[in-house]
Chains A and B, each alone.
Chain A
């Protein structure tokens, strides 16, 4: 089983809203990731969690706030986003940070 699930599939939010994206895996993976992907561009790394601790933050604006409540769950809290933040947000997980990453289906976010 190489399934990573993400909810919601689609999200529309205003610039003053607060929302959260959720990601879950039950493969026993100890590394989890958030990526942002714009149309016709490759995924861009945002955050890496290793053993439930934030190990990499790619200079992401503070309006994006990650959280790893346990080894199976990864959240991305969103607040005061801008229209340019509209994108596909992908979660991924891997056994460790140097092994194959498996991606969830993504959340398509539209900020109005």
Chain B
């Protein structure tokens, strides 16, 4: 089975940086994905790591350490529109399992 943990909620100010951590315990790990989901909408893909290290995509970066079972998503220069739930998903044994999601609240 898999166990995926991420914080329930984080609050940050517009223009700041927020780091969302995700820890996982799984057998057969084949990749870790980050999705953004606004309330009432579908998840949208943000970033993907299969090897250790940092992947950067504009204001969003994601890091993976397979030996530690740990990933983080870094959101820089926060904007109000970044207020959403951020889902960590682990791919193993042919399917994704999603963490419970971290609700990020961006304040003016």
Contact = CB atoms under 8 A, between A and B. Distances in A.
A42 B98 contact: yes
Report whether over half of chain B's contact residues are helix, strand or loop; otherwise say mixed. strand
Contacts, number: 44
B94 A103 contact: no
B30 interface: yes
Contacts of A97: 94-95
Contact of B91 (A43, A55, A90, A98): A98
A66 B97 CA distance: 20
Contacts of A98: 30-31, 91, 94
A59 interface: no
A56 to B, nearest CB: 6
Contacts of B91: 98
Interface residues of A, number: 20
Contact of B43 (A45, A48, A56, A103): A103
Interface residues of B, number: 21
Interface in A1-38: 2
Contact of B45 (A41, A44, A100): A100
B18 to A, nearest CB: 19
Nearest to B42: A103
A72 interface: no
A26 to B, nearest CB: 17
Given A42-B87, A98-B31, A104 B42 contact: yes
Interface in A65-112: 88, 90, 97-98, 100-106
A45 B97 contact: yes
Given A42-B101, A98-B30, A98-B91, A106 B96 contact: no
Given A42-B87, A42-B100, A97-B95, A90 B31 contact: no
A33 to B, nearest CB: 8
A105 B45 contact: no
Contacts of B96: 45, 101
Interface of B: 30-31, 33, 35, 40-45, 48, 87, 91, 94-101
